[in-house]
Chains A and B, each alone.
Chain A
Amino acid sequence: MTDCSVETSELSYSFSDQEIVIHGIGLRVPAGSIYGFLGPNGAGKTTTLRLLLGLLRKQRGTISFFGLPFREHRIDILRRVGSLIETPSLYSHLSASENLELLRLIHQCPRSRILEALKLVGLQDTGPKKAGQFSLGMKQRLSIAVAILHEPSLLILDEPTNGLDPNGMIEVRELLKRLNSERGMTILVSSHLLAEIDKLVSHVGVINKGRLVFQGTLDGFKQGRELSRAVILDTGDPARTILILAEHGVHSRLEEGKVIMTPLANDQIALVNRWLVTAGIDVYGISAVRGDLESVFMELINT
């Protein structure tokens, strides 16, 4: 038995000899987690997810789901996986329930699952309306219904909130949380909407230029980057500021004309201000580098 729903090792892929897009990725998606797969555009998120699902032929490395190698157990694994990759995949000449019916025939799940899945995404009243006439948000929600129709153990979703309005995004987020907590579905979700990921995931993997640059819990991701909460001092004499801080045992450095200090408590920041004013140094501003997911992420991918 394994505690990972998805595990890869040394996964690499190139579209040509000159263009290697994935470099030795070792993904570990813990069972029962909501794993946010983050990265800037072109980082290799979608390519990685397509490799996982067998949509691209693997070139190097290993892929396993639920402890089983993908190549040898492809069909058994896909029975337990639901997916949505990039744009919605729907038959535009068929209605929402017909789209689900033709997949139900493959998955052999009860007919009642169609209405359940449609209700979960709020599309139970679309009747005979063709999917081609749906708005992008409705198509996205129907695609999620397609992914969850057979109640998979693992959901792989690539940018599932694309095209949704803020209300739709909240609904999808709540739906995914519910599927995770109530039905125990493991969810691997890629997104570039960091605020969404921040509110949704328990684990994070960050990919940049085809390399996995971080992997772990969301809390670990933020705490492990405590330095990003450094304090910035804007003073009239940065060089003397650094000397005065050193005299008081505070480490600092000069960056682009400003003094950067290690994280300090609020009362210590006030003390530093008094030292500088007493020494006759003009203090124009004191600010803390934001410690939210976005700044941590930006720091990570710019490293």
Chain B
Amino acid sequence: MTPSFVRSLQSEWMKKRGSLASWIIVAGAFFTPAIVTIARILHAERLQELTAADDFWMKLWTSSWESMAIFLLPMGVILATSLITQIEYKNNTWKQLHTLPLSLTAVFFSKLAVILVMLVEFFALFNLGIYLSGVLPVLVTGGAAYPKAAIPWTTFLREDALYFVDCLPIVALQYLVSLRFKNFLVPVGAGFLLWIGALGALRWTYGYFIPYTYCIFNYLKTGVDTKAVIPAVNIHLFAAGYFACFTLAGYILYITKREKG
């Protein structure tokens, strides 16, 4: 990492402070756990049975990831990535950014790095949310014992890592599109259409070629009853490959852009 990249990264991280993108990360991470927490408090009579189960944490994990993997994570990534570049468009600051003593490479990769760090932040907060949704209902209602099952940290961390990799094609493609178009609706609309396309392609034998399917497939592989065709290939490798291709394409398009603000 060059000093120029580090300085740019610090500056980019500061820029996103208090921005809509940073709030989406926090709100998105705690949305599902908050619903689960409220539902369990409202149905406190079932808590005793739930907390006594050996697979308490795995069941909680799976139910928490259902809406997250299929809907909230892809849409959150689409929105947050597009909003990061919108900070420059909305404030008319591309011209300021491009007249700073920074290479275009440093600018491109520092923004991408901020998005990826935000994604890590999102996973950390979501995991914390899952934990809290497991213990808060017990503490609030006092009607059940603390879950006796041990938390399967290694499984959680491995799955987090896989979901992270599976998001990367969405990040890279959304980043590419949102750098090209000033109008916020273009990257968001394109992302939404691709996500709809991904949902429609789940039953298709070659659905795994669509880069927005991987988070969904990663969730469905856990044996959820579905008519989706679970790919026999390593989707995580596909995701990493798409990420590399989209990032390279985005970088080339960015540095060769005729007008830079």
Contact = CB atoms under 8 A, between A and B. Distances in A.
Contact of B96 (A81, A89, A98): A89
A277 interface: no
A75 B102 contact: yes
A240 interface: no
Interface string B249-261: 0000000001111
A81 B18 CA distance: 29
Interface of A: 50, 53-57, 75-76, 78-79, 81, 83, 85-94, 98, 101-103, 105-108, 146
Given A57-B258, A102-B15, A105-B14, A79 B101 contact: yes
B10 A91 contact: no
A167 to B, nearest CB: 26
B11 A89 contact: no
A89 B95 contact: yes
B109 to A, nearest CB: 15
Contact of A54 (B11, B18, B93, B99): B99
Contacts of A76: 101
Interface in B1-50: 4, 7-8, 10-11, 14-15, 17-19
B92 interface: yes
Given A55-B259, A105-B10, A105-B11, A93 B96 contact: no
Interface string B82-109: 0000010011110110111111000000
A45 to B, nearest CB: 15
A182 B194 CA distance: 58
Contacts of A87: 92
A75 B7 CA distance: 14
Contacts of B261: 50, 55, 85
Contacts of B102: 75, 106
20 contacts: A54-B98, A55-B259, A56-B259, A57-B258, A75-B4, A75-B102, A78-B100, A83-B96, A87-B92, A89-B91, A90-B91, A91-B91, A98-B14, A102-B11, A105-B7, A106-B8, A106-B11, A106-B102, A107-B100, A108-B7
A15 to B, nearest CB: 9
Interface size class of B (residues with CB under 8 A): 20 to 34
Contacts of A102: 10-11, 14-15
A43 B103 CA distance: 31
A103 B99 contact: no
Contacts of A85: 95, 99, 261
Contacts of B103: 75
Contact of B14 (A57, A75, A101, A108): A101
A146 B96 contact: yes
Given A55-B99, A94-B14, A108-B7, 18 more contacts: A54-B98, A55-B95, A55-B261, A56-B259, A75-B102, A83-B96, A83-B99, A87-B92, A89-B96, A91-B15, A93-B18, A94-B15, A102-B11, A103-B11, A105-B7, A105-B14, A107-B100, A146-B96
Given A89-B91, A91-B87, A108-B7, A55 B15 contact: no
Interface of B: 4, 7-8, 10-11, 14-15, 17-19, 87, 90-93, 95-96, 98-103, 258-261
A88 B92 CA distance: 8
B259 to A, nearest CB: 6
A75 B90 CA distance: 26
A98 B17 CA distance: 10
Query: For B10, B15, B99, B102, which residue has the most chain A Cβ atoms within 10 angstroms?
Result: B99
Contact of B99 (A53, A94, A105): A53
A76 B8 CA distance: 16
A103 B100 CA distance: 8
Query: For B15, B92, B95, B259, which residue has the most chain A Cβ atoms within 10 angstroms?
Result: B95
A76 B87 CA distance: 27
A78 B7 contact: no
A137 B197 CA distance: 48
Nearest to B90: A92
A103 B14 CA distance: 10
Q: Top 8 A-B pairs ranked by shortest CB distance?
A: A89-B96, A78-B101, A79-B101, A102-B11, A89-B93, A102-B14, A105-B11, A75-B101
Contacts of A101: 14
B18 A94 contact: yes
Contacts of A103: 11, 100
Nearest to B12: A102
B141 to A, nearest CB: 40
Contact of B7 (A57, A79, A88, A106): A106
Contacts of B259: 55-57
A12 B260 CA distance: 18
Query: For A50, A92, A105, which residue has the most chain B Cβ atoms within 10 angstroms?
Result: A105
Query: For B19, B100, B258, which residue has the most chain A Cβ atoms within 10 angstroms?
Result: B100
Contacts of A55: 95, 98-99, 259-261
A36 B51 CA distance: 76
